[in-house]
Amino acid sequence: MAEKPEELSLPVASVSRVVNDALPPNVNVSQEARKVIAKTASVFVLYTTATAASLASKAGRKTMNANDVLAALMENDFPQFKEPLERSLEHYRETQKKKKESTTARKSEQANTSKPGKSPSPNSKKSPKQKATAAEEPEAASDSEGED
């Protein structure tokens, strides 16, 4: 592979943050231990990826998905990670969805402002009539829905 070995290991600084979160305060971790933890983390990534990829190919898929990763962790004997991971994944998907929605909303807003907007006065005059017709219609509407 073209990558240099140092490019294939996780940065010690961010790994150290996770290490510090796991330990009670004022615990000393030697520099050597930090480096080794970063190395093991990289190996863990590769190990999990390889297992997940083989699970995907066994199922006849080329794309590795979230379920493959979860199944790989179960196979590699880390069942205690499943529950927190599912929670994180749910949260991640929600935030991704929100991001998507906000970008599409922004785009549509831009499209609306660029078009000449209709004057609101005729709409507001019509609205009482519309309400009345809407009040009469629901039965018919529900019937037609049932037919569909």
Partner 1 sequence: MAADKSGSSKKNSAGPSNATSNNEEKTGGQSTRLRTDVVLPQSKVKVIMKSSPEIEVIGGDSVFLITKATELFIDHLTTAAYGTCKGNKSMQYKNLAEVVHKHQNMEFLRDIIPIKIPARLALQEMAKQTHIDNKELME
Residues that bind partner 1 (CB under 8 A): 1, 3, 7-11, 13-30, 32-33, 36-37, 39-50, 52-54, 57, 62-66, 68-70, 73, 76-78, 80-81, 84-85, 87-89, 91-93
- Separation between Cα atoms, residue 134 and residue 91, nearest integer Å: 39
Cβ atoms of residues 73 and 85 within 8 Å: yes
Smallest gap from Cβ 101 to partner 1, in A, equals 16
Nearer to partner 1, 87 or 126 (CB): 87
Smallest gap from Cβ 107 to partner 1, in A, equals 21
Nearer to partner 1, 93 or 126 (CB): 93
- Residue 123, token pair as written in the block: 């709409």
Smallest gap from Cβ 102 to partner 1, in A, equals 15
Cβ atoms of residues 3 and 34 within 8 Å: no
Three-class secondary structure of residue 10 per DSSP: coil
